């Protein structure tokens, strides 16, 4: 009887230990070779190369920051700062952050990390040894370069269709409503943002509320992928091992 109880206890402990990593271990065996490589640090390294290699090619005109469409100025091969003259951006409050290029999670970390026990225990820092968390955090389909002040101002705010006339960032049409804790991306970024949310929801079983589903499906339909978004999706798939089907299916339809 004691042996049976002991074995049962071991099973429960094992299940609790592996619960947070189930999202990775449940993947097909041929895809699990990516699990140790897919993390935030590697994502930034690979994305940096994708954007740098495309800077002077046929995608140079599209190879810009997500929300404001600013040209990226490099220090060697690393994104250094945003060229404000190329997009008409004006910083709202923080000039230093307004110059900086940061990597933005379109679906914010807070949204997909909330169910991890490590996040509840101590946030991002506590989750750095959690393989399941690191895997999702490092999904390149959800990461794009953005001006630091925009990234900071938006924070964890969900996206909405705000009717307020853009005024906060010069000619950049990003709107952040600090009172209502929501943000609205410019029309040129809405399709990419929508496809990132729809992809993350489907791939990692992250539930979207009905209002979100309706909004993102509308943006997905009315703001189709650019040639750059199609190229970026393919380039990421070569490295990460999977594509964003919401992008690739739309790109195939455009080709037809």
Q: What is the pLDDT of residues 203-228, one digit of tens each?
A: 999 999 999 999 999 999 999 999 99
pLDDT more than 90, % of the chain: 72
Q: How far apart are CA 22 and CA 132, in angstroms?
A: 7
Q: How far apart are CA 233 and CA 227, in angstroms?
A: 10
pLDDT at 121: 87
Question: Residue 172: left (phi > 0), alpha (psi -120 to 50), or beta?
Answer: beta
SS3 state at 7? helix
Instruction: List all residues 6 or more positions away from 170 whose beta carbon is below 8 Å from its beta carbon.
Output: 84, 88, 89, 90
pLDDT at 57: 79
Long-range pairs, 120-125, Cβ under 8 A, ≥24: none
Q: What is the pLDDT of residues 230-252, one digit of tens each?
A: 999 999 999 999 999 999 999 98
pLDDT at 111: 92
Q: What φ, ψ does residue 236 adopt, rounded to 5°? A: -65, -40
pTM to 2 decimals?
Answer: 0.85
In the predicted model, what is the mean pLDDT of residues 76-85?
A: 92
Average pLDDT, the chain: 86
Q: Look at residue 10 and tell me whether its pLDDT is greater than 80.
A: no
Considering only CA atoms, give the Rg of the chain.
20
Q: What is the pLDDT of residues 108-159, one digit of tens each?
A: 999 999 889 999 888 888 998 899 999 999 999 999 999 999 999 999 999 9
DSSP state of 90: -
């Amino acid at each position: 009887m004691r042996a049976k109880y002991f074995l049962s206890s071991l099973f429960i402990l094992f299940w609790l230990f592996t619960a947070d990593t189930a999202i990775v271990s449940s993947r097909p065996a041929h895809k699990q070779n990516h699990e140790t490589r897919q993390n935030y640090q590697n994502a930034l390294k690979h994305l940096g190369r994708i954007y740098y290699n495309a800077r002077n090619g046929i995608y140079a005109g599209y190879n810009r920051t997500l929300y404001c469409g600013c040209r990226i100025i490099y220090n060697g091969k690393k994104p250094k700062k945003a060229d404000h003259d190329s997009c008409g951006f004006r910083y709202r409050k923080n000039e230093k952050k307004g110059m900086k290029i940061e990597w933005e999670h379109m679906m914010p970390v807070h949204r997909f990390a909330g169910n991890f026990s490590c996040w509840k225990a101590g946030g991002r820092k506590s989750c750095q040894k959690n393989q399941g968390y690191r895997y999702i955090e490092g999904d390149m389909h959800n990461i794009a370069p953005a001006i630091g002040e925009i990234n900071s101002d938006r924070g964890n705010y969900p996206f909405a269709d705000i009717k307020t006339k853009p005024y906060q960032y010069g000619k950049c049409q990003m709107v952040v409503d600090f009172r209502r804790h929501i943000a609205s991306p410019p029309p040129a970024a809405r399709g990419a943002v929508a496809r990132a949310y729809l992809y993350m929801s489907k791939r990692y079983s992250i539930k979207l509320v009905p209002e979100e589903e309706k909004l993102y499906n509308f943006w997905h339909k009315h703001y189709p992928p650019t040639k750059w978004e199609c190229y970026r999706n393919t380039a990421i798939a070569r490295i990460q091992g999977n594509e964003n089907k919401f992008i690739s299916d739309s790109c195939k339809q455009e080709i037809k």
